[in-house]
Structure 1
């Protein structure tokens, strides 16, 4: 058993009953092939909750600062996370993300780049659009709907995959691609509140 699988099963036992997590649409995550999983971001717990409700292992971009926290910094890479420098174009992180998608794995992103302080969906950054237009991945939108309060129900909803083949042929920009992804996330939030 890998560290990822072990951590996932332990966290699953704690989080699912604590937050009464309801997962909707897991069948929308393709069983194989590259997937770009894009979710809204309302809490520091989002990567954990998305990670335990997705049937496939997810590789998350995580802010570089996490890798500098004693103990946690040593653990995070074993949980399929890799660092990204926020607020600038991090070529190494972009290469790493594209590599994950080329290997037919799941790359998890929070396109807003930071947590929403209001719980409302914010503007997406171009990074999600970059991966959507530069890879062959199917894009799966995800919405975490809650508050993170003990024994309140928290929903994690996975939407149908968005095929970007036509968008790629039309050479849309990364910004345009991100807008499309954010609109899919917005629809999930509205439909499942």
Structure 2
């Protein structure tokens, strides 16, 4: 895959320009279905996750990006597929589930949109729903510093240090399932994800 070819030079560039530091990479399973979820502060976040992981990651990307020629090309290189963020997109969810059934890695951003201040925003339950339907474990990954590349008002990109840290796997199959209260279980899984991301960011000094 093209992404496997470009990953090594991208890592070199990230190390050169952003002094990028990967923490907890040993926690990324080398095989099997996996959902990686991260906080979202920059358009570069999918590139950062793709560089950190030795396995190809498939991403949901807002459908509008596929109408912009250069961006559409970049998104496809990153194994992106469209999602309609204005309504529940069953097609995108089905595609996510199918990829996981094939043993792939799915990259998702629980907040659904970027938060340029670098802090966590409210999360949706999409990650939890997909994990619950497939039984696939979730690996939270915190990204620190990416929001400073193009801060509000900046005309040129900057070169802050970027740190990334993988947390503890969240195994949804290990949670007690209450068939009569699916919503509570979705909330519980989402809370576990965001609590782990908050812990990781706190350890790296952002909160």
- What TM-score do you get using the length of structure 2 for normalisation? 0.86
Q: What residue is the counterpart of 2:56 in the other structure?
A: 57
Query: How much is the aligned-residue C-alpha RMSD, in angstroms?
Result: 1.7
Q: Give a deviation string over 1:84-117, Cα, whole Å, max 9, x none.
A: 1112100010001111111111100011000003
Q: What residue is the counterpart of 1:120 in the other structure?
A: 119
Structure-1 separation of matches of 2:73 and 2:44: 18
Q: What residue is the counterpart of 1:153 in the other structure?
A: 161
Q: Give a deviation string over 1:20-67, Cα, whole Å, max 9, x none.
A: 100000111111111110100011111111110112111111111111
Higher relative contact order (CA 8 A, sep 6+): 1
Q: What residue is the counterpart of 2:26 in the other structure?
A: 27
Task: State the 1:128 CA deviation.
Answer: 0.9
CA contact (8 A) 1:39 1:141 kept: yes
Determine which structure has more spread, i.e. the larger CA radius of gyration. 2
Structure 2: which 5+ runs fail to align?
150-157
Q: What residue is the counterpart of 1:170 in the other structure?
A: 178
Q: What residue is the counterpart of 1:188 in the other structure?
A: 200
Structure-2 separation of matches of 1:183 and 1:125: 14
Which runs of structure 2 are paired with 1:8-157 in the superposition (5 Å)? Answer: 8-147=7-146, 148-149=148-149, 150-157=158-165
Structure-2 separation of matches of 1:51 and 1:168: 32
Structure-2 separation of matches of 1:92 and 1:168: 28
Q: What residue is the counterpart of 2:5 in the other structure?
A: 6
CA contact (8 A) 1:26 1:55 kept: no
CA contact (8 A) 2:47 2:78 kept: no
Of residues 175-184 and 30-39 in structure 1, the stretch that sits farther from structure 2 once superposed is: 175-184
Task: State the 1:3 CA deviation.
Answer: 1.6
